[in-house]
Structure formats: structure tokens, C-alpha cells
Structure 1
Amino acid sequence: MLVSALLTSLGINSGLCILFITLYSILRKQPIHYEVYIPRLLAEGSSKRRSNFNLERLIPSTGWVKRAWKLTEDDLLASSGLDAVVFMRIITFSLKIFVFAGIIGIFVILPVNCTGTQLHEVDFADFSNNSLDVFTISNVNSGSKWLWIHFSAVYLVTVFVCYQLYYEYNYISLKRIAYFYSSKPQPHQFTILVRSIPVPAGTTVSDSVERFFREYHSSTYLSHTVIRRTSKLRSLVNDANKLYRRLTRLQSDPNQEKYKRVRLFGEKVDILDHYEKQLEDIEENLRLEQSEVSLAGDEVRAAFVSFKSRYGAAIACHMQQSTNPTNWVTEEAPEPHDVYWPFFSSSFIRRWISKLVVVVTFILLTILFIIPVVFVQGLTNLSQLEVWFPFLESVLTITFVSEVITGYLPSLILQLFLKIAPPIMLCLSSIQGYISHSDIDKSACNKVLCFNIWNIFFATVFSGSVLYQINIFLDPKTIPARLAVAVPAQASFFIAYVVTSGWTSTSSELFRIIPFICSIIRRPFTKSTDDDFEVPSVKYHSDIPRILLFGLLGITYFFLAPLILPFLLIYLCLAYIIYRNQFMNVYEPKYETAGKFWPIVHNSMIFSLVLMHCIAVGIFTLKKLSLASTLIFPLPVLTLLFNEYCRKRFRPNFIAYSAEVLIKKDRGDENDATMGEFFDELITAYQDPALLPVHYSSNVDSLNSPLISSSERA
């Protein structure tokens, strides 16, 4: 790729960023768009729609940037929880790494690369027609002593990254414990999930649970809630909710036609009366189904078991309960609103088959995605395009067109293809047998990360350098040599990808294109109110892998093609401001894992370091600097030893809290007068929402009337 093609991509994406940010700064002040740009503030009541017009609304402003910058970590922790703090620390951690690497890369390594003549000398007089390859390590002459600068940079950045990883792991681990100490008593702290419950003949699951825990945990056992199969009930509840919303919407619209045909050739009926009768029928069916489900025959051999103390719940969770380890299998319970209830409706064999299907599907999707990657890489090669599409030969001779196609189009097409990956991985994780939405998100996060690393990095690298010789089963001995040839060759593509996927995607996150378009389309058909929308939550399963992928690109390319680092730093600065703004105004936490996403970040960075070391070994061998290749070998070993130390030192604190922490917290609650009320609520905290009593309001005029009574909710 030529410098001119990169500049074209840079210009297009910079223009889009400015456009999105400008539109956001105007539209966010329009009351009709509050549900798109400040839904959280609207739901909390801290912002109201104002009808009075003033000219200031039409003038772009940067006040939101100042407010986002002033947001402290403590404020973020109080409003959005520890998961939001950890997410922002991923960004600040990456900023620290690439500021350090950027100083070395831009001011030391880049001049060395430019002074090399292995490819050809840099033509500063005709700068835009230089190939970006001359700014990479490929341009440094083989056997040159200047390569020792690259060698030293690899060691320096490895040490710095490991230090920062240790610091962050330790900081978040302590923050996690402090967050636990400061939290109010939560149901999941006192509750465990028990599965594979043995049920003797003539008894029920409930009887077995009661008898077992009364006998072996008599001093700490409080209550239990047996899980029942409620998939059909959930379907009825969803139907009732949809019908209720439709009914209230019709009642609130005075211009709505009162009489309609409900069938193609049927008679006209009073549509409100028709829906009310349908609602009553669904309510009756729901009550009958609830009665049937309440029978012992619909019990799943699983239950949520609650205890009088956190320490008692921890003992029951982490100790083997039976001489047969396949019975009375225990695990920590999620928060009540975090429970993924459809999971419990599946049998063991169905869950096992689902896991197998998910693994096979994931592998097939990952392999099949190589097809669009190969196509995208073909776009970066004009001669290849002329072979594929001979009729475009005359068009490709136009300079601007060729620059757009080679510099902007490939990364844009790849980004569009990758948009489908997160929802697919989330769907696969949801049928894999996880008991909570947070576990599903963590699983999807790992899947998306692996998918991106393989299809964006490895598949792009090898398909781009050897278009017709994609060797999936690589010989491990040749991996460093293959990477040394292929990775630097794709530096220009990844620089353009950072600009397109990083800059533009982040600014579009601020503008919220899809919600904005949906609100425009929906507005003529619905009467918008401050209660007629859902506050979104952060998509950790897609946002975290994107940041980590850029982290991998930055670490692997900082000594190969340091020109990528300024673009990464601009992306991280945009992400820092924009996501802080989104946490303040848009996103509301749907669950709290207390920072359990951080181990994914740590493992990804360790992988990036080891990959960088493998590439360095191959590069120095290729450049005939065998001593440097030999001296690099201790680095991956030391890095993996460091990772093992962190795994032993910090990882246990992310799996379970220690006895010291739990007992201190329990003792602190002994004098709390509200604990009695809390234990009363704990008894019903894990009741399946589909089994709660149904109450339909007789006044359908009120949009605020609840469909389901909250009197028995936890």
C-alpha cells in the first residue's frame, strides 16, 4: 500500500469521525432524541424533556467532553459498578503501554527503519508515492547492527508490559475485595446452586434438598428454591407483555381507529375489547400452566440453596458434598436478575449435546470466515483485482479510485463482515449451558476474541502474503519464519484497519447510528414517553475483544512497523472520552461480576507478548542476526513463568472470596438491624419470574401499570 492510499483512508475516516461527533453534539440536545443519547438520565429522572426552543440546541458544543473528562473512578464505581471501572482501566492500561512503546517506536525505531535500504530508500521529495513497507523493519539491511535497537526495544516493552499487568492485576484484585466489603448484603452472596440432586423413590426434589441440608448444614442452612421447567410459561408471559403494551398504546392514542378487522375477511370488531378478551384468555391459561408446573413432576433436579452467612454458603459451595462427586454438584449462584432461566429447562443430555454443537459450529464459522478475508486481501492488490475483474481495469487506473479501493475499502468490508460475529457468539454461548447472563457474556467475549485473533490477524497475515497457499496446519518449527515474512507485509493493511475499525467505530458508538435510525423509523408509529424505552447496557462481549485485538496489533507491530502506534493512541484517546460519556448518559449495568473480565485481558496480553517474541525470533533469523534470535528465547519462557505466578497469586481472588474476607463481612453484619428483613426477602429472591402471580391492571390507560405484581418479587 502506498502512503497516498493510507492518507486517503485517513481522510475519509477522519471526516466520518468529525461528522459523527458534530451530529452527536447537536442531536444530544434535542428532546426528541433523549431516549437515544441520554436514556439512562431519562430513566433515572435526572433529565427531563424540555419543549422550549433555543438557538443553542443547533450549535455544536464540547461540554460533554469536559464532563466526561471530569468523571472520577469513584464516581464511575458508584454509578456503574466495578465492571465499568475495569472496562475503563483496560483502556487506560493500553494507553500506558502504547505511550511507552510509542516513544521508543516513533522516535527511535522508525528513523532506523527509514535509513535502511533493504527495499529502497525513502523518497522524501515524493513522499505520498512511497510504499509503507519502507517504514517497517523489512527495510533495515540484513545483518545491520541497527537491528540491536529493535532487540532492545522488545526486551524493554516486555518488561514494561509485565510490570503493568502485575500492577493492574493487583490493583483490581484489591479493588474487588474493597468493593465486596462496601457492598450491602446481596442474595447471591448467601446462595449457591445445587445440581444433580439424587431423589429417592416416593420423595420430591424439595424434600431431598431440605433433608440433606438440614442434616449436614444445620447451623447455616436457611431455605431453598427448587427449579422448575417453565419454558412454556415464559412464552405465555412474553405474549401477555406484548399484548398489554399493544393495548396500552392503542388506548393512549386518541386518533387510533376503534373498529378493525382482525382477520382478512372477518367482521369489524372493537379492537380494544378484542385485545382485552385475548389478555384475559392468556391470563387464565397462564394460571393453569403455573398450577401444572407447580407439581413435582416438573421439577428439575436443581435448586438454589440459601444460607444464614456468606461463610456457610462458601463452605457448601467449595466442599464436595457427597461420596459420589457427580451428586450434589455445587457452584456459586449469580445475582437473581442475572439468572438465565431458559438454561434450567434443558436436560443434562441436551446441554451436553448443545456444548458439542457449539464447539463444532464455532470451529466451522472460524474456518469459513477465511473466504471473506481472502477476498478482502485481494482488494489490497491492484494486479490481483485486474485478474479477478478485468472489466475494472480502466477504472482502476484512476488514482483516487485505486487509493480508495486499496486503502479504505478492504478494512471497511472486513469490519462489516465482523459485525455479525458478536451476536452469533452470544447466541452460541446462550445455548452452551451457562446459568447467568454474565457467564454467557464472558464466554462470548472469549469466543469473539479468539475469532478476531484468528480471522483478523492470522488469516489476514497468511492469506495476504500467500494468497493461493493457505496452509491451515502449520508446521510448528516454521511458524517463526512464516510470521517473520508474513506479518511485516501486512503492516499497511492493519494501519488502515485501526483507522477504519478503531476511529470510525468508536465515533459511531458515540453517535449510536443503529438506535438513532430505529428511533426515526419507529417515531411515526408510536407515541414516545419517558417510560417507553429500555436503557441499554454495555456490550462487553464485543467491546472488550475489539480493544484487546488492537492491543495485540500494537504489541506485535510496535517494533516491526511503529507507524501504527500514533493511530492506536488516537483510537484509545477517543475510546477513553467516549465510553466515559456513554457510562454517564447511556449505559446502565445489567449485572455485576466485580471485575471478572480482567483475567481475559491478562491472558490476551500474555498471548500477545509471546506472539511478539515468536515473530522477533523469526525476524532476527531472517535478518541474519542469529545471536539476537538466540537471546530472545528466554523472553517467552520468562513471560509464561510470570503468567503462572500471576495465576497463582491473583486468579483465586477472582474465583472466590477467601475465608478471611467472608468472615469479616459476616461479623460486620451481626449488628445490622436490617439483616432480619434481608433474610425474609432472601427466601423468595430466586423464585422464577414465570411462576410469580400474574395481575393485569383493569386500567389500561396507564402506561405505568405493572403487568405482573411485584408484591412477591425479591
Structure 2
Amino acid sequence: MAQRPKIDAFVSTTKESFAFTPDEISFPRPPTHLPHPEVRQSQELETDQECAAAFVFFRTRYAAMVASKTIQSYDPMLWVIDFAPEPHDVYWENLCLPYRMLWIRKTSVFIGTIIFSVWFLLPTTLVQGLVNLDQLEDTFPFLRGISETKYANIVSGYLPSLVLTCFVLIVPPIMLMFATLEGTVSRSSRKKSACCKCIIFFFWNIFFYNLFTGSWWDRMGKLTVTGLKDMATLLGNLIPGQAPFFMTYIMTTGWASLAYELMQPFVLIINWIYQIVLLRKEGYGDLYTFPYHTEVPRALLFGLLGFTFCILAPLILPFLLVYYFFAYFVYRNQLLNVYITRYNTNGSYWPIAHNAAIFSLIVMQAVASIIFGMKNFGTASTLAFVLIIFTALFNLYCRHKFLPLFNNKAVQDLIEMDRHDEHSGKIDEILPRLLSSYYQFGGFHGNHPTDLLAAEYKTFNSADAGHKM
């Protein structure tokens, strides 16, 4: 076995059964002395050749699953095995990164995310200063008179949410860059990691920070928090006071984002440049996958706003209902008719949505318990607190019952699919396509089917076989 701690063996268990078929041109390949008995050794590889990463294909899904869950040597860092992404899901730039450097990358990204979150507090504070012009004048005397201008209502009403929306636009690309620096080897994992970072960022910087700094200008200097009762009083004043700002934010960010999704102005401009400036009749032919890291955090943030404000400021609910009503039809049309599917997410975003919903419920129940206690409704406050316990228990039950189905593959299903492939003869069909499937420099234009047995996949690869071989 090659003493190379950077080697990653990727075991593929996508829809079909596999045997090892090394690519002669594109990606790095494993040494010929791989110890697994089901690997078909390549005769063209040199005996002592080493590589940073390798794709290892098995003839059955069950064998691939077993190999991915076992340690191949006494040194766990010698052969690090994980499931391989689908062919169009591979992020080739990170494929050959040394495994021992990944924790350094993740730690650096974590620190960078914290620094970016702290920096983002500056525009958020600016936004709240625009909302509270009267208190801003008291804090900074040189700004006196700004609230008496004829544009004061526009500045304090619409401009803060517009400024915050402009700053928020840079968050998803930066989080996607951070996710890339982490060293993920698949595009889906990269987008999922960026989605999780955006959710945490939005929940803290947009919701909590705006909520607790919204009345800082006039309440923090007058109210001394000495106990739970003072905290409840502060919370009871904060939430209703920020409802108008978040209503405007929903219209500025939520409603406007739906119109942006329908019109796709960026794609229209790029297509116009290709046709008018570059004089290409076909225009811009490459299509996009659905931006989960942009749309999912926004939808979950609005859910948190709805759960939190439904008790003290229920007027925000119609704005959210309008957003979710039109969002269903807009995103359904975009997923079916506009965006393409280059890889399957396999429901990996459902646990993220579940965790965000549970967190929103707990925040709502905590607010209800505090408010009922402030109003001297002891029974209602106690029952709301009990709801928090039941919600946490329900989340624990779901994690034990359903989360393993998203993180792992059922052996029973794998064996049944292996038997079906064996009886139907699909193995002989798929083996010739492996060589052109995992190809680093292949073109990814248009909608690529993820199923290697699809007729469209066969047509696509046969058309490109000339320049690949």
C-alpha cells in the first residue's frame, strides 16, 4: 500500500452498479496495488504510481457501501474513503486537496465567517440609525434637523430596508466562496454548506441584531435590565417596534426577489451581450442550477419572522402569506421550466428546513412564555414553557427516526437495486459509459441527466466521444 496520507478513495453508489474503469486522461487514478478484491486493476498504470485522489467503482452498491464504512488500514489517515459525487456533481478543483489540510481550511473559514459577521454589524447599525432618526439626532447633535426634511419619511421608512437588501446581496456569494475554501469535493455539498452559513448569518445579523438594536437608541439608556421581568418588558417593547421595519423588508427583499426570479435580468443581460456584442446567434447557452444557498435562507428567515411576530405584531402575517403564496408558483415554475438538474440533492435540504422550523417554534414559544409572564398570566406562561420542552423532544425523536435516512443509505434498498441490475443486464450497459462520465474537462452545457442509463445521456456522450478519447 502506498504510504501517502493525501489519498482519498471515493466510492460511488449512484443509481447504477459500477466496476472500476480508470480514465486515461483526466483525473488522478489509484495505484495498481489497491487491496480490495473487487477492483479491476488497470494494465496501463505504472506499478509505483501514486495519486492524491481516486475514484473507485464497485460492481454492486452493497460492496461500495461496506467499503465506505470500513477503515482500510491501521492508519485511518492513509486511506480516507467517502461516497463519490455524481459525475456532474464533482468539484474537480478541490478533489486532490490533501486530507490533512481540510481541518485547517475549515478552521480558517470558521474564523473568516465570524469576522465577516462582525463586519456586517456596521451596515446593520447604519440601517437602524436610519430607522430611528429622532434618536439619531439626540445621539449625534450635528444631525439635528434631518428628521424635519420633506424626505424624512422615505429615509426612515423605505431606505433602511433597501440599504440592508443591497448589503445582503453580497452574503450568498461570499458564503459560497467560504464553502469552496473548505475543500468540499462536490458542488451539492458546497452549495449546502453555503446555505447553512447563510441561514445562521441571516438569523443572527438580520433578525436578532436588528431586533435588539432597533430600540437601542432610546431604550438602552433608560431601561436597566436587572431581572427576567425587565427583560420581558424590553422584549415586549422590541418586537412590536420592529414590525414596520420587517414588513418593509419583506416587501423589499421577498416580493422583489420573486419578480427578479421571473424576469431573470442577469441572464437577459448576459444573453444580450453574447448576441449583440460578441455576435453569437445562439446566445448564452449555459443554464443554471437552482440557487439553494440564496433562496432557502430567505424563505426560512421569513418563516422565523412569521413565528416570532405572530403574537405581538400579527399584521406582518398578510405580507408573509402573500410572499409564500406567490413563491410557491414562481419557484415551481422555475424548477420545472427554467433551472436545470445536473445532480440530485437527495432531499439533503429537508433536515436544514426542519431544524430552522424547530428553532423558529422554540423562539415563538419562548416569546409567548415571557409575554404571558409579563402580563401575569401564570398558567399560560407555564404551558408555553412546557411547549418548548415538547418541541425539543419532538425534534429529538425526528433526529433519531428520520435523520439517518438522509445521511445513510438503506442496505435493503441497495441489495434490491443490485439484484434488479443483475437480472436486467444493466451492468453491461453502464460500464462503457463510465469512462466518459467522470471526465474533468468535459463540457457541461445544457441539461445533463443524472441517470447514466438515460437515453439522453447516451446521446450526449456519444456526441462528445470524439474529442474525449
TM-score normalised by the shorter chain: which range applies? 0.7 to 0.9
Q: 1:408 aligns with which of 154, 158, 164?
A: 158
Shift in CA distance, 713/658, structure 1 to aligned 2, threshold 3 Å? farther
SS at match of 1:330: strand
Shift in CA distance, 517/682, structure 1 to aligned 2, threshold 3 Å? closer
SS at match of 2:85: coil
Q: Conserved in 2, the CA contact under 8 Å of 1:224 and 1:303?
A: no
Residues 1:339 and 2:90 are matched in the alignment: yes
Residue equivalent to 1:85: none
- Alpha-carbon distance between aligned partners in 2 of 1:679 and 1:394, rounded to the nearest angstrom: 72
SS at match of 2:77: coil
Q: 1:305 aligns with which of 56, 60, 65?
A: 56
Residue equivalent to 2:449: none
For residue 557 of structure 1, report the CA deviation from its aligned partner.
1.1
Give the TM-score of the pair, scaled to structure 1.
0.55
Give the letter aligned to residue 172 of structure 2.
P
Q: 2:36 aligns with which of 213, 216, 240?
A: 213
Q: 2:210 aligns with which of 443, 456, 460?
A: 460
Residue equivalent to 2:392: 640
Deviates more, 1:348-357 or 1:334-343: 348-357
Shift in CA distance, 536/406, structure 1 to aligned 2, threshold 3 Å? same
Give the TM-score of the pair, scaled to structure 2.
0.81
Counting only pairs closer than 5 Å after superposition, residues 248-263 of structure 1 correspond to structure 2 as none
Residue equivalent to 2:323: 571
Residue equivalent to 2:108: 357
Residue equivalent to 2:201: 451
SS at match of 2:312: coil
Q: 2:177 aligns with which of 421, 427, 435?
A: 427
Deviates more, 1:555-564 or 1:505-514: 505-514
Deviates more, 1:387-396 or 1:453-462: 387-396
Q: 1:655 aligns with which of 393, 398, 407?
A: 407
Shift in CA distance, 476/604, structure 1 to aligned 2, threshold 3 Å? farther
SS at match of 2:261: helix
Counting only pairs closer than 5 Å after superposition, residues 136-215 of structure 1 correspond to structure 2 as 186=15, 190=18, 205-209=30-34, 212-214=35-37
Deviations 1:195-236 (A, max 9, x none): xxxxxxxxx951342xx102xxx4xx456899xxxxxxxxxx
How many residues matched? 424
Higher radius of gyration, 1 or 2: 1
- Alpha-carbon distance between aligned partners in 2 of 1:537 and 1:643, rounded to the nearest angstrom: 31
Q: Conserved in 1, the CA contact under 8 Å of 2:89 and 2:186?
A: yes
Structure number with higher relative contact order (C-alpha < 8 Å, ≥ 6 residues apart): 1
For residue 476 of structure 1, report the CA deviation from its aligned partner.
11
Q: Conserved in 2, the CA contact under 8 Å of 1:556 and 1:612?
A: yes
Q: 1:587 aligns with which of 322, 333, 339?
A: 339
What is the root-mean-square deviation in Å for CA atoms of aligned residues? 3.3
For residue 532 of structure 1, report the CA deviation from its aligned partner.
4.1
- Alpha-carbon distance between aligned partners in 2 of 1:650 and 1:225, rounded to the nearest angstrom: 45
Give the letter aligned to residue 333 of structure 1.
A
Residue equivalent to 1:132: none
Residue equivalent to 2:349: 597
Give the letter aligned to residue 459 of structure 1.
Y
Residues 1:368 and 2:119 are matched in the alignment: yes
For residue 509 of structure 1, report the CA deviation from its aligned partner.
1.6
Residue equivalent to 2:311: 559
Shift in CA distance, 682/533, structure 1 to aligned 2, threshold 3 Å? closer
Residue equivalent to 1:492: 244
Q: 2:132 aligns with which of 369, 376, 381?
A: 381
Shift in CA distance, 645/507, structure 1 to aligned 2, threshold 3 Å? same
- Alpha-carbon distance between aligned partners in 2 of 1:505 and 1:390, rounded to the nearest angstrom: 37
Counting only pairs closer than 5 Å after superposition, residues 672-711 of structure 1 correspond to structure 2 as 672-682=424-434, 685-689=437-441, 710-711=465-466
Shift in CA distance, 634/527, structure 1 to aligned 2, threshold 3 Å? same
Q: Conserved in 1, the CA contact under 8 Å of 2:258 and 2:330?
A: yes
Q: Conserved in 2, the CA contact under 8 Å of 1:464 and 1:490?
A: yes
Give the letter aligned to residue 15 of structure 2.
Q
Q: Conserved in 1, the CA contact under 8 Å of 2:289 and 2:342?
A: yes
- Alpha-carbon distance between aligned partners in 2 of 1:583 and 1:637, rounded to the nearest angstrom: 37
Counting only pairs closer than 5 Å after superposition, residues 486-635 of structure 1 correspond to structure 2 as 486-521=238-273, 523-530=275-282, 532-635=284-387
Give the letter aligned to residue 156 of structure 2.
T
SS at match of 2:214: helix
For residue 522 of structure 1, report the CA deviation from its aligned partner.
5.1
Residues 1:667 and 2:422 are matched in the alignment: no
Q: Conserved in 2, the CA contact under 8 Å of 1:465 and 1:486?
A: yes
Residue equivalent to 1:105: none
SS at match of 2:51: strand
Q: 2:190 aligns with which of 420, 440, 446?
A: 440
Deviations 1:431-469 (A, max 9, x none): 101110000000000000100000110110111121496
Deviations 1:369-405 (A, max 9, x none): 111111101111231354558567267342xx23322
Shift in CA distance, 652/411, structure 1 to aligned 2, threshold 3 Å? same
Q: Conserved in 2, the CA contact under 8 Å of 1:191 and 1:332?
A: no
Residue equivalent to 1:44: none
For residue 333 of structure 1, report the CA deviation from its aligned partner.
0.9
SS at match of 1:593: coil
- Alpha-carbon distance between aligned partners in 2 of 1:480 and 1:431, rounded to the nearest angstrom: 42
For residue 507 of structure 1, report the CA deviation from its aligned partner.
1.0
Shift in CA distance, 475/554, structure 1 to aligned 2, threshold 3 Å? farther
For residue 482 of structure 1, report the CA deviation from its aligned partner.
5.1
- Alpha-carbon distance between aligned partners in 1 of 2:423 and 2:401, rounded to the nearest angstrom: 33
Q: Conserved in 1, the CA contact under 8 Å of 2:120 and 2:205?
A: yes
- Alpha-carbon distance between aligned partners in 2 of 1:459 and 1:633, rounded to the nearest angstrom: 24
- Alpha-carbon distance between aligned partners in 2 of 1:565 and 1:493, rounded to the nearest angstrom: 14
- Alpha-carbon distance between aligned partners in 1 of 2:402 and 2:317, rounded to the nearest angstrom: 30
Shift in CA distance, 520/324, structure 1 to aligned 2, threshold 3 Å? closer
Shift in CA distance, 518/574, structure 1 to aligned 2, threshold 3 Å? same
Q: Conserved in 1, the CA contact under 8 Å of 2:198 and 2:293?
A: yes
- Alpha-carbon distance between aligned partners in 2 of 1:475 and 1:666, rounded to the nearest angstrom: 65
For residue 642 of structure 1, report the CA deviation from its aligned partner.
0.5
Shift in CA distance, 378/543, structure 1 to aligned 2, threshold 3 Å? same
SS at match of 1:460: helix
Q: Conserved in 2, the CA contact under 8 Å of 1:306 and 1:682?
A: no
Q: Conserved in 1, the CA contact under 8 Å of 2:275 and 2:283?
A: no
- Alpha-carbon distance between aligned partners in 1 of 2:43 and 2:171, rounded to the nearest angstrom: 37
Shift in CA distance, 417/297, structure 1 to aligned 2, threshold 3 Å? farther
Residue equivalent to 1:20: none
- Alpha-carbon distance between aligned partners in 1 of 2:42 and 2:81, rounded to the nearest angstrom: 13
